[in-house]
Structure 1
Amino acid sequence: MTVTDHREAMIEARAAVTDVREAMDAYAEEFAADVNSIRADSRHRENIRDMRAAVDAYCASFATAVSTHHDETAALRADLEATAAAFDAYTTAFAADAAAMHDVSALHRDIEALREEFRAVTTDFEDYTTDEFAPAVGALHADAAETAASFTAKQEGFEAYRHDVHESAVHALTADIAATRADFDDTAASFAAYARAFYGHTDDATTQTDADDTTAQTDVLSGQATVTRAQPEEDDTPEDMVQCRVCEEYYQAITEPHLQTHEMTIDGYRDEYGEDVPLRPDDHA
């Protein structure tokens, strides 16, 4: 229950006591008039005794009710006084807090000190930016520009070198290799024809003795392995040699450059003569 509720209850109790007192006074006056009237008539004495007993009982009951009401009023007054004391203490504390909140001079001093510190830091930063950072950035930009120019010059030089060497020297070297390979193929074909004619062999007969074995080395730039055209005895494959199924010659290995002379590749050679066709001497079963 709040202080306001206690106060309103106390006011109502006081009003009720006042009303009861006024009613009792009015009743007492009326009762006294009745008593006086009855006393004048002796016949009403018994009634007076009864009425007096009733009045006495009522007064006792009324006194008890008034005493109880006085106790409740005292308790209510005590609660009201405690509430008033608490409210006074809160008011005092609130006034102190309000006074402390209104005193912002210390806060203003702290803010001003912080502003001064910020101004000093800003000045130092501006000095650093002007005296150190800007020159360093300028030097870095200059170095980057110089490096970029050097890289561009080197790139242009490399492009020129690549054009001169690749477009000229490499193409010329490729042309020389192709011409050398063509010359070698012509020489090899001529030599093979001369050997067959010399030994009296036809194109279908390839047998000759071990003493007449002929060995020819391929040009290094052709990429072919060492070639030995040897005619084995009794159709046996020479040791460490493998026969080309296209030209029926014997080589140390059937290589991609050799097959290119037949306008074939390794895959085409296998498609033509089988996946198990030997390409090296150790491929024989």
Structure 2
Amino acid sequence: MNDSLILHHYDGSPYAEKIRLMFGLTGTKWSSVLCPVQPPRPSLDPLTGGYRRIPVAQVGADIFCDTALIARELATRLNCPALDPAQVGADAAALMAQAQGKAFFAAIGAVPTPRLLTTMLLKFGPIGAARFVKDRISLLKGSTVRAPQGDKARAVLNALLDDLETRLETHEWIGGDAVSVADFACFHPLWLYVSCNRRPLEAGPQVEAWYQRVSEIGHGEREELTQDKAFAIAKAAEPRALPESVSDTPAAIGAKVEVAPSDYGKVPVAGTLAAFTEDRIVIARDTREFGLLHVHFPRAGYALTAA
């Protein structure tokens, strides 16, 4: 069990949907720990040290933050290079960036306001909806992200749909002839839009057919896991061997540091710098509950500072 794949997530998370589809593509058996939609998250916060975003992957005493890094981990672990964002061609990578950037933050704003409010009331109830809105405002406080609304949001989303239609007229999948991480990256903001809008996706025929194909990939073999079992797995395990660090680390290995996203959800995680490679930051957290944990972050999009 210490080597099992555990995903800490909630079912409505579009970023988690991206990872769940990767499990579906590879037919992977994985363990699911469901978290609250918003903090506090008592089943996850003790493992990460307070990392704000969802989902988070766990393998024993190693904790992986951000879907870009989780995808790279899965590509290696499951021997599926198609899941590695670094393997995506330039045209598909540009569409990924478009989908995961402006289009993602336009997905909710593109939904008519009365329908969006009804969706939140149906999911959370009046008090829960108010708490959800308050939390999401807090999430974007001090961020570099600007979420468009109304006509501007619909224009951004329609631009993505048009570009995907053009791509899919000559390619079966976003990355070419086979499904890859590019499909899941482009799919998840549309999945969010459809979930909030509660209507089928209205797009060009190629995009609609592709959206249906991705939807049918499924989520692999999911097994629910309790918080206590996930905690017990972390406590019983030792972190895996560390990767070799680059020579010019911004802080000394073993120094006290903090790591936080550089765009939004800027809640820092504190620990000691354990490794700093070409593509990742690993900090060590010596915890009372679990002993030593290693928390992994991608370098891209994250800032490391002295604690």
TM-score of the alignment, normalized to the shorter chain, above 0.5: no
Higher RCO (C-alpha under 8 Å, 6+ residues apart): 2
Flag the structure with higher helix content: 1
Flag the structure with higher strand content: 2
Bin of the TM-score, shorter chain as denominator length: under 0.3
Could you tell me the TM-score, scaled by structure 1's length? 0.16
Could you tell me the TM-score, scaled by structure 2's length? 0.15
